[in-house]
Amino acid sequence: MVPLAIARQTVREALRRRVMWIFLICGVFLIALGPVFGFLSPKDSQTVLRSLGLAAILLAGLFITIVTCIYLIPVEIERRTIYTILSKPVQRFEFVLGKFLGGFAVVFINIAAMGVVFLMMIRFQEGKVPVDMFKGVYLTFFQMLLLAALTIFFSTFATPVLNFFMSFGIFIVGNLGSVTDSLTTSRNGTARLAGTIIHYLLPNFSNFNIQNTLIHPAQEITNPDVFIRQNILYALIYSAVLLILAVIIFDRREV
Amino acid sequence: MQKAIKKLPASVQKRTAPMAALVVALLGAGAFLQAKIDPVARKIHQSEQSIDQVSGGLNNEFMLLPLLGFREAAAGLLWVRCDEFFHSGDYDAILPLVRVITLLDPHAENVFVTGAWHLSYNFTDSNERSDRRYIAPSQALLDEGIRNNPAIPDIKFEKGWQNFDKTKNYTEAESALKDCISGPFHNEKGVKGSDDFPFACPLKTLHLLAHTYEKQGRIPEALEEWRKARERTESVMKEDEKNNKPLNYSNKQMWFAEVHNYDEDLQRYHNRYTTVKHDSINPSNPPQPGVLWPTGPGVANQPWDVVFTPTIEVKRPKVLRISGRFNSADGARVDVRITDWNYPERPLVDIKNSFKVDMSQTILVDSMAVRKGAFDRELDMSKDPKMYSFSQPEYKIVLSYNPRTTSPHLTDRFGWSGEGITDGNKGHVYLDAREPLLGTALIAGQGATGPIWDGVTIPWAEHTQPVRMIAVTYRVSRAQMMGEKPITDADMVPTKL
């Protein structure tokens, strides 16, 4: 239960960070702005509220995840508190896992808070909460889970500033899934190889972007539940890969 | 100096190899899963344009959102900007935004519909005449919207409506409306959960299709469409009654309209085409079809001679006064169409990046009201050089009267396809016999070649009746449009639409 103890402590520390609260407040504020677009036609205002709400959750979640997770390990090393922890019967993999679970919990709390506000706004404007909107919120959560694992992986060897740019950069590349997918069938051999590596080896964040089908109810996904389960499994598998790699690196790191 | 070799703890060494193996196995599983996800993801994003194609029209503040995967949010915010521009009258600013929004969010059906409406209706000259050059991009935008959203009836309906109302292209209107009614599964059933489920389209689509058939002189099909619409309304009302829902007066009103329009079409057919005595409208004896004019005892009734005598006077450069006689009841309108001589009827446009139109093209479409058998109108194109650049060497001026676009009280006189109209100058009578424009033969002769509808057999889908129009065409030079030379009857050429 060592990782859980570390996770609890991580959550406490993260919740003390003002920057996280600022992003959360910004996210909630953006979501709450939704009904302002009531001057548009009912169909348009519904589209704007939904798309803006999901985007606000994702955008705030993105910054909260990165800003929270980039500091989790470096701060312990910088303050030398890691010596105290590792001098106890705590394995390094337990430390990494604990930090990840802590970061994961913080992301969950934030996205859940924004999700509740978002669903309340939908209820307020549309008089009901479509099930699809839940799907949008929890797919965002799993997307952030994957991002948290990526950030923790980088934090085992990179400085926070470097980590920020690397995580953000890979998030953007990972969102260009349709581009990398088309590269996998490119006639140019180099482009095809690069596309295949990026598409299949780097975390593909665009898998979770199904906002369009959620916003426009006429657009349907074939077997949506299977597709969503596959995406959740994808997030879990890649998070596991990144955590194992983080443990392998952190095992070899001098602190 | 020998470099110190760091020795890892035994437990770490021991677990490294299995962990590495696990990473490889999990990456394989992830790649496998990605291959499973890809086909569905491709389908979801199939109509989305890649970011590099969209980025040209985006400000930096909006660029970040699509890069992070928030295409729809960026599209939504840009749509809000469009609304602001619309209410401030900055119509030009809306066009690039509509293009970017529809590229970012190819399923924003409202943007396709509103954008196409904006293109077709809101760009006008100083006399409120539409800039017809925008019709082609508008239609192309609707076509793109239909391709991206085959299950959405609204875009197909808008295409039908614009062709019915704006361009009077009833062939295109019919095609779009039939597609709308047929729905995504081609069985008139809609997607579950859609607004009109179990039907694929709103009821108004059937109504508009019926009116489209009327405008094409295809009355048996119009009657059939009114009947289908009435049946649909009755089924909805019965379903409401079965579910103990209160009476929906909108449905009831629709039902009355459908019954009325069905009866009215039959009544008009009867009055206009059948050989009965129609008291004051057609006091002939023996009785003759209402669209033919009694010329005297024992003489077969004839079409009405409108004695079309137009004259065109160039008052100033780009200012034409068109006047003349058209011997019909008040309310008739003589259409005027001025274009470059080689103006393509439906120019092919590439709207991939923008809705830009060829500003060197000139087209004016207007109509002149007939009062007491005469028309007189000054068309001033000098105030709008951007719309009427007159940069080509030759122009076509077509003055015409089309019985299919006229109001019902005149169709009573001339028939749905102009069977009851003629001109003493035979060169002014133009039979438009293009296959898609043929209507049902409702009266013997008058250019039709096929069998006559008997008024009982429904539907009758054999189309053999051409449109009998009154039309003259002038071929004039730029110098004439600029008033350097007069426009006379010598400039008339055979009409070919």
Query: What is the tens place of the pLDDT at every residue in A116-138?
Result: 999 999 888 888 888 888 888 98
Interval A56-64 mean pLDDT? 92
Q: B interface mutation test: which of A170, A182, A212 has the most B CBs within 10 A?
A: A212
pLDDT grade for A178, boundaries at 50, 70 and 90: confident
What is the reported pLDDT for B285?
A: 61
pLDDT grade for A77, boundaries at 50, 70 and 90: confident
Flag if B72 and A59 touch (Cβ within 8 Å). no
Flag if A199 and B34 touch (Cβ within 8 Å). yes
Phi, psi of B190 (to 5 degrees): -95, 175
Pair A147, A167: CB distance under 8 Å: yes
Interval A190-208 mean pLDDT? 90
What is the reported pLDDT for B50?
A: 57
CA distances from B276 to A130, B281, B445 (A): 62, 11, 18
What is the reported pLDDT for B229?
A: 97
What is the reported pLDDT for B302?
A: 87
| DSSP H or E run through B177 | helix B170-182
CA distances from B355 to B58, B141, B339 (A): 16, 9, 20
CA distances from A247 to A75, B332, B385 (A): 17, 86, 72
Annotate B7-32 with DSSP letters as a single string.
Answer: ---HHHHHHHHHHHHHHHHHHHHHHH
Q: Looking at domain B51-272, does it have CATH number 1.25.40.10?
A: yes
Closest chain A residue by Cα to residue B72: A51
- The closest CB to that of A218, out of B50, B73, B194, belongs to B194
**Helix, strand or coil for residue B440?**
strand
CA angle B367, B368, B370 (to 5 degrees): 135
Enumerate the residues of chain A whose CB falls inside 8 A of the CB of residue B33: 230, 233-234, 237
What is the reported pLDDT for B236?
A: 94
Flag if B40 and A222 touch (Cβ within 8 Å). yes
- The closest CB to that of B70, out of A41, A55, A237, belongs to A55
Is the dihedral angle over the CA atoms A152, A157, A163, A166 positive or is it negative? Answer: negative
Would you give per-residue pLDDT tens digits along chain B (497 residues)? 455 556 777 777 778 888 899 999 999 999 999 998 988 888 777 666 555 555 555 555 555 666 666 777 788 888 888 888 888 888 888 988 898 889 888 888 889 999 999 999 999 999 999 999 999 999 999 999 999 999 899 999 999 999 999 999 999 999 999 999 999 999 999 988 888 889 999 999 999 999 999 999 999 999 999 999 999 999 999 999 999 999 899 999 999 999 999 999 999 998 888 876 655 555 556 667 888 887 767 777 789 999 999 999 999 999 999 999 999 999 999 999 999 999 987 777 888 778 888 889 999 999 999 999 999 999 999 999 999 999 999 999 999 999 999 999 999 989 999 999 999 999 999 999 999 999 999 998 888 988 889 888 888 889 999 999 999 999 999 999 999 999 999 999 998 87
Annotate chain A with DSSP letters as a single string.
Answer: -HHHHHHHHHHHHHHT-HHHHHHHHHHHHHHHTGGGGGGS-HHHHHHHHHHHHHHHHHHHHHHHHHHHHHHHHHHHHHTTHHHHHHTSS--HHHHHHHHHHHHHHHHHHHHHHHHHHHHHHHHHHHSS--HHHHHHHHHHHHHHHHHHHHHHHHHTTS-HHHHHHHHHHHHHHHH-HHHHHHHTT-SSHHHHHHHHHHHHHS--GGGG--HHHHHSTT---SSHHHHHHHHHHHHHHHHHHHHHHHHHHHHH---
Q: Max alpha carbon distance in chain B (Å)?
A: 132
So where are chain A's domains? 2-252
Flag if A201 and B67 touch (Cβ within 8 Å). no
Enumerate the residues of chain A whose CB falls inside 8 A of the CB of residue B68: 58-59, 62, 171-172, 175
pLDDT at A79 over 50: yes
Enumerate the residues of chain A whose CB falls inside 8 A of the CB of residue B73: 51-52, 54-56, 211
Q: A interface mutation test: which of B26, B78, B87, B88 has the most A CBs within 10 A?
A: B26
Interval A68-87 mean pLDDT? 86
d(CA B4, CA B7): 9
Instruction: State the helix-helix crossing angle for A224-252 and A131-155, rounded to 10 degrees.
Output: 20
Enumerate the residues of chain B whose CB falls inside 8 A of the CB of residue A218: 107, 109, 149, 151-152, 191, 194
